[in-house]
Amino acid sequence: MDLKKTNAPVNTITYDRNQIDEPTENIYESISIIAKRAEQINTEIKKELIDKLEEFATYNDSLEEIFENKEQIEVSKFYEKLPKPHALAVQEWLTDKIYFRNTEEDNQ
C-alpha cells in the first residue's frame, strides 16, 4: 500500500449513509466490512513503522547514553500525519477497492 498517494481525509468528515450501504444494502454489514479492512490496514502500517524504526535503532546497555535519533523522529512524524486506518478503509470502500462476498449466499 502506498500511503503517500492516498487521498483519504485526515480530519473527520460526514459520509452519506446511502453511499456506504449501497453495495451491501445493509449499513451494519458495510460497517463490519470497513472495520475489518481498517484492522488490516492498521496491521500493515504498524508492521511497516516497526520495520523502519528498527533500521535506526541503537542498542545500548546503559540508560545514561540515551540520545535523540533524528531519523526515528522524522519517520514517526510522517506516520503521525497519515490518515487514520478507518479513513483509508472508508475511502477504499467508496471507490470499490474492497472485495467482499457473503458466505451464506455461497452455501445456498
Domain map (residue ranges) of the chain: 27-58+68-102
Q: What is the mean pLDDT of each run of 10 residues along the chain (108 residues)?
A: 80 94 94 97 94 78 60 87 94 94 77
The predicted structure's pLDDT at residue 64: 52
Per-residue model confidence (pLDDT) at position 62: 55
3-state secondary structure the chain: CCHHHCCCCCCCCCCCHHHHHCCCCCHHHHHHHHHHHHHHHHHHHHHHHHHHHHHCCCCCCCHHHCCCCHHHHHHHHHHHCCCCHHHHHHHHHHCCCCCCCCHHHHHC
pLDDT of residue 67: 62
pLDDT score of 35: 97
What is the dihedral sign for C-alpha 59, 53, 81, 44? negative
Q: Can you give the pLDDT at residue 32?
A: 96
**Whole-structure pTM value:** 0.83
